[in-house]
A and B are shown apart, each in its own frame.
Chain A
Amino acid sequence: NAGVTQTPKFRVLKTGQSMTLLCAQDMNHEYMYWYRQDPGMGLRLIHYSVGEGTTAKGEVPDGYNVSRLKKQNFLLGLESAAPSQTSVYFCASTKIRTDMNTEAFFGQGTRLTVV
């Protein structure tokens, strides 16, 4: 049982390049999230999805797009990378809440540098 897997783990992009980060979960979770983590800023929500085929904006969605074509996968796209998007990106997933167990399972992170 792998949990939440992110690929790639590291990437260096030039300004203006595009790329896609892949998140895959094998826990049959309904909800999936993309966060970015920057020093002193904590985890900030970029986009999230409450089910296959649905996505919604989080706190900092500009410059990113997402897709959830399959329940187990959540893709984060950078259309035209900017140095301000240098960050560590985390994907997380949770099951539909029917009780108090609110645990979000996180991937290992993707370290992205835009030069």
Chain B
Amino acid sequence: QKEVEQDPGPLSVPEGAIVSLNCTYSNSAFQYFMWYRQYSRKGPELLMYTYSSGNKEDGRFTAQVDKSSKYISLFIRDSQPSDSATYLCAMSYNFNKFYFGSGTKLNVKP
């Protein structure tokens, strides 16, 4: 069993839609949760990070962590074509290693 599971998609939505991206994990020791965005043929770049459970909001993006269910989510409001990318969740418990999901490909249609 993979430590981090993520639906690969692709997910196609119209511009302006609310997007929900999710990951589940098996290691209860994970404390730090991150979302990375990766444009085609580029390296991943950090979008948001959260510590332990709860919500964090940054502009159109909201990250949620539910440690009791071992489930994290990223919501994108008012999605834009420029949001079209692959979104990777990542987790860590000691900063030495990051465990990544396989990524969900998102396409926002104009």
Residues of A at under 8 Å CB distance from B?
4, 31, 33, 35, 40-45, 48, 50, 56, 58, 90, 92, 94, 97, 100-104, 106-109
Known: A43-B98, A107-B43, A109-B41. 7 other contacts (CB 8 A): A40-B102, A42-B4, A45-B97, A90-B43, A100-B51, A102-B95, A103-B46
A107 to B44, CA, bound (A): 8
Contacts of A100 in B (CB 8 A): 32, 49, 51
B102 contact from A4, A31, A33, A41, Cβ within 8 A: A41
Return the 3 tightest CB-CB contacts between A and B, nearest first: A106-B43, A42-B102, A43-B100
Which residues in A have their C-beta under 8 angstroms from that of B88?
42-43
- Name the residue in A42, A43, A103 with the highest tally of chain B Cβ atoms < 10 Å from its Cβ: A42
- Range class of the B interface residue count: 20 to 34
Contact of A43 among B8, B44, B51, B96 (CB under 8 A): B44
Please tell me which one of the listed residues A33, A102, A109 contacts residue B34 in the complex, with CB atoms under 8 A apart: A102
Point out the residue from B6, B42, B95 that lies within 8 Å of A108, measured CB to CB.
B42
Interface residues of B in 36-92 (CB under 8 A from A): 41-46, 49, 51, 88, 90, 92
B43 near A42 (CB under 8 angstroms)? no
Q: How far is the CB of B67 from chain A (nearest CB, A)?
A: 16
A109: chain B residues at CB < 8 Å are 41-43
A94 CA to B97 CA in the complex, in Å? 10
Q: Which of B34, B43, B100 has the most CB of A within 10 A?
A: B43
Q: Is the Cβ of A31 less than 8 Å from the Cβ of B51?
A: no
- Number of inter-chain CB pairs below 8 Å: 59
Q: Cβ of A107: which chain B residues have Cβ within 8 Å of it?
A: 43
> Complex: how many Å from CA A40 to CA B98?
17
For chain B, residues 1 to 36, give those with C-beta under 8 angstroms from any C-beta of chain A: 4, 6, 8, 32, 34
List 28 A-B residue pairs with CB atoms under 8 Å apart, sorted by A's residue number: A31-B95, A31-B96, A40-B8, A41-B102, A42-B100, A42-B101, A42-B102, A42-B103, A43-B90, A43-B98, A44-B100, A45-B97, A45-B98, A48-B96, A48-B97, A50-B96, A56-B96, A90-B44, A92-B43, A100-B32, A100-B51, A102-B92, A102-B98, A103-B34, A103-B46, A104-B90, A106-B45, A109-B41
